[in-house]
Amino acid sequence: MKFAKITFWIAGVWGLLVIAPLYFLFDVIGQKDPPPISHPGFFYGFVGCALAWQIAFCFIATDPVRFRPLMLPSMFEKFSYAAAITILVLQGRTSQTDLIFVATDSLLGILFVIAYFKTPPR
């Protein structure tokens, strides 16, 4: 259970630190990595949804046994993003530098799987 607590705290805090600033980088992203974002609703929707999951990771960390079922969609959150970015890179539709986020989310996803199996059911 200690492994799950540490893993989910790290994931939650890391995610908050990486995702929250995106609210203030809308225009900068378009300048540094053109073309400019053309659908702000999708962008801010993604940021809000991703931020909500980081908060959920912090909740899971407070009581892994109680919130063990939430570890399953947490894994999906990590692996679905990693898969999507990998496919976009292979198609040449996004920068290869985005693969650093694939590595980070894949590692966290693997740690979530380990945490799930190390945490006893309720």
Q: What angle do CA 99, 104, 105 make, to 5 degrees?
A: 95
Q: How many domains does the chain have?
A: 1
16-58 confidence digits (pLDDT tens): 999 999 999 999 998 988 889 999 999 999 999 999 999 999 9
How many helices, marked H, and strands, marked E, lie in the chain?
5, 0
pLDDT of residue 118: 98
pLDDT band of residue 4 (cuts 50, 70, 90) is: very high
CA distance 54 to 105: 12
52-84 confidence digits (pLDDT tens): 999 999 999 999 999 999 999 999 999 999 999
pLDDT band of residue 1 (cuts 50, 70, 90) is: confident
Classify residue 66 by its DSSP letter: T
Range of the domain at 105: 2-118
Q: Which residue has the tokens 């970015």?
A: 85
Whole-model pTM: value is 0.93
